[in-house]
Amino acid sequence: MGNAQEKPPGSGGGGGRSPQATAGSGTRSRSGGNAEKPQTRRAPGKGAANGTQRENSPAGGQQEQGSPAVDTSYLDAPAGALPPHLARLKNAGNHLFKHGQFGEALEKYTQAIDGCAEAGIDSPEDLCILYSNRAACFLKDGNSSDCIQDCTKALELQPYSLKPLLRRAMAYESLERYRKAYVDYKTVLQIDTGVQAAHDSVHRITKMLIEQDGPEWRVNLPEIPAVPLSVQQQHRDKPISAEVAQVRAARAAQEQANRKDALFTLLKREGNDLVKKGHFQEALEKYSECVALKPDECALYTNRAICLLKLNHFEEARQDCDSALQLEPGNKKAFYRRALAYKGLKDYLSASSDLQEVLQLDPNVREAEEELEVVTNLLRQSLMDSTAHTPRV
Asked if residues 179 and 221 have their Cβ atoms less than 8 Å apart, the reply is: yes
d(CA 302, CA 200): 40
Inter-CA distances, 238 with 112, 226, 232, 244, Å = 26, 20, 10, 12
CA 34 vs. chain centroid, Å, equals 16
d(CA 164, CA 147): 9
d(CA 67, CA 48): 21
pLDDT at 111: 95
Average pLDDT, the chain: 83
- Facing residues of 62 across strands? 56
Inter-CA distances, 158 with 137, 173, 239, Å = 19, 22, 18
Q: What is the CA radius of gyration of the chain?
A: 34
Output the CATH code of domain 248-388. Answer: 1.25.40.10
Same fold, 84-228 and 248-388: yes
141 pLDDT above the threshold of 80 = yes
Residue 36: which of 85, 105, 101, 104 has the closest Cα? 105
Percentage, residues of the chain above pLDDT 90? 63
The 10s digit of each residue's pLDDT in 286-300 is: 999 999 999 999 999
d(CA 230, CA 239): 16
Q: Alpha-carbon dihedral of residues 307, 310, 312, 313, nearest 10 degrees?
A: 10
pLDDT at 244: 66
In the structure, what pLDDT confidence band is assigned to residue 209 with cuts at 50, 70 and 90? Answer: very high
pLDDT at 128: 94
Q: Nearest 5 degrees, angle CA 201-CA 247-CA 42?
A: 125
pLDDT at 124: 92
What is the rounded average pLDDT of the residues 303-329? Answer: 96
pLDDT at 58: 46
- Facing residues of 56 across strands? 62
Pick from 130-139, 224-233, 292-301, 305-314: least confident: 224-233
Inter-CA distances, 294 with 194, 299, 306, 368, Å = 29, 11, 18, 29
The 10s digit of each residue's pLDDT in 317-369 is: 999 999 999 999 999 999 999 999 999 999 999 999 999 999 999 999 999 99
The 10s digit of each residue's pLDDT in 29-51 is: 334 444 444 443 333 333 333 33
Read off the pTM.
Answer: 0.50
Inter-CA distances, 258 with 5, 159, 265, Å = 32, 36, 11
Domain ranges in the chain are 84-228, 248-388
116 pLDDT above the threshold of 60 = yes
In the structure, what pLDDT confidence band is assigned to residue 122 with cuts at 50, 70 and 90? Answer: confident
393 pLDDT above the threshold of 70 = no
Residue with more model confidence, 15 or 252: 252
d(CA 339, CA 54): 79
CA 279 vs. chain centroid, Å, equals 39
In the structure, what pLDDT confidence band is assigned to residue 232 with cuts at 50, 70 and 90? Answer: confident
Pick from 105-119, 231-245, 307-321: least confident: 231-245
In the structure, what pLDDT confidence band is assigned to residue 75 with cuts at 50, 70 and 90? Answer: confident
The 10s digit of each residue's pLDDT in 169-192 is: 999 999 999 999 999 999 999 998
Helices (H), the chain: 84-98, 102-119, 124-140, 144-157, 162-174, 178-191, 196-213, 229-237, 242-276, 280-293, 298-310, 314-327, 332-344, 348-361, 366-388
pLDDT at 388: 65
| CATH superfamily for domain 84-228 | Tetratricopeptide repeat domain (1.25.40.10)
Residue 166: which of 205, 139, 203, 127 has the closest Cα? 139
